[in-house]
Amino acid sequence: MESTENRYSLALKQITKTANSALPVKKVITSIAGCTAKALQTTGCAIMILNPQKEHLDLIGAYGLSDMYLRKGALNARKSYPEILDGKTIAVADIFADKRSQYPEHAISEKITAFMGAPIVQKEEVIGQIRVYNREKRHFKPIEKDFLSTVSNLIALTLEKMELNQYLSSYHEANILQHQKLTSFSRLPLIPIRPTNFSHPSEEEFARLLDFYQVEWLYEPRSFPLAWEDKRITEMFTPDFFLPEINLYLELTTTKQSLMTEKNRKLRRLKEIYPDINVRLLNKGDYLKLFAKYGFISLGENKIAGVQKILFNRTQIQRRVKSLAKQISRDYQGKDLVLIGILKGVLCFMSDLMQNISIPVSVDFMAISTPTNNIDTAIQITKDLDLDIMHKDILMVEDIVDTGMTLNYILNYLAARNPASLKVCTLLDKSARRLINVPLDYVGYEIPDQFVVGYGLDFRGKYRNLPFIAVLE
């Protein structure tokens, strides 16, 4: 009988060999899942990566699990065994006695009882999970946990290698490598791996549009049974996309009337059986209307003309603002807090930030002269504060900090009025342009050295009203 150590050794040997091969990423990950399940003698294995918001898990490879189980729905990493998201390897001998299972009814259908999961970590950051499943109750041993953790580390290295290859390949095609010298892997902007094969070119086009507007998506994440015969499923419907941020399933339509009629029939049936499921049939003309309805963009050609790409959509901005407000509320509990902003760019950020702060707060604004071509012209305050800030806790709220020269001037000006404390909260930090090292206590996002507009930021007085932040062409 083959020993446990020998099984593990052979599995790791095969995994490293496959990871170092020229196989496509989908085949590599699927092979790793198979080797892992066989070595641990479990029913199946699934490998998933986190979406950018670290909320949902996107399946990238699996072995031994049915299509119905794999498409049970989007897996919420913060609800389904959240300890893995914190970097822990966990084991559950009986899923049905554990409240952390997100889809227990599907586990029953798949006859899965035991479970073990480990985080996939890159550079001390959890980027995904590997999970193994077993049909019988099972108390996983420490050596089995160690083996799964080792495999997860190999997956992290494999993904990093493939991201590097993608980066080098894209730059080689653009003929840029001959002008640049790569000196450190840590400087490479890793490209998210989406090993997705689309069924139709229109789906790939729509996915690219979602990526442009920074809308998180999952491709064909769930299949819904629509008809049964003697408890055997005879018909299913799998929507093309799921948008986790707005909990919406989308099925793209075509111009063929026969296909549209059949899809409409299936959608009506789906809504009858699953009334709580939010699903919509979408044609090409509906794309921008959908994005506008849910606040990802504003309708009107004049509002998006000249936008090269979107850095952060409305949902992402609001989520980050709420996070900053929560931290500020906690840090300033019991203090006399005053928010101060410089008109006009900070208007959107200030409005949303103060509405989400849960403690009493005062607000005031200043205005300064705009730069001119006359280098002898100094910064001038054209509107001063209305409040007396002496002995009060001041939080300077900025839309963006780049050189730091204006902010440094304002901070010195405010410090002369003897506040109890003086700190800075900025939505955007463009550190690449920094000339004066001003302290930033709360930062929403770090951005590259690009000209951005939207959410209060303007170009010659325009684009302030965009609900997202975008790079201007």
Task: Pull the structure tokens for residue 104.
Answer: 């227990």
Q: Is 36 helix (H, G, I), strand (E, B) or coil?
A: helix
Half-sphere exposure of 292 (CA within 13 A, CB side): 11
Angle at 71 between CA 70 and CA 77, to 5 degrees: 75
List all residues 6 or more positions away from 292 whose beta carbon is below 8 Å from its beta carbon.
298, 299
CB 264 within 8 Å of CB 224: no
Enumerate the active-site residues: 402
Q: What is the dihedral of CA 426, 427, 433, 438, to 10 degrees?
A: 10
With contact defined as beta carbons under 8 Å apart, do 403 and 392 qualify?
no
Q: Helices 4-19 and 25-40 meet at what angle, rounded to 10?
A: 180
Phi and psi angles of residue 339, each rounded to the nearest 5 degrees, phi first: -95, 130
How far is C-alpha 235 from the chain's CA centre? 33
Quote the tokens at residue 236. Answer: 């299913």
Count other Cβ atoms within 10 Å, centred on residue 193: 17
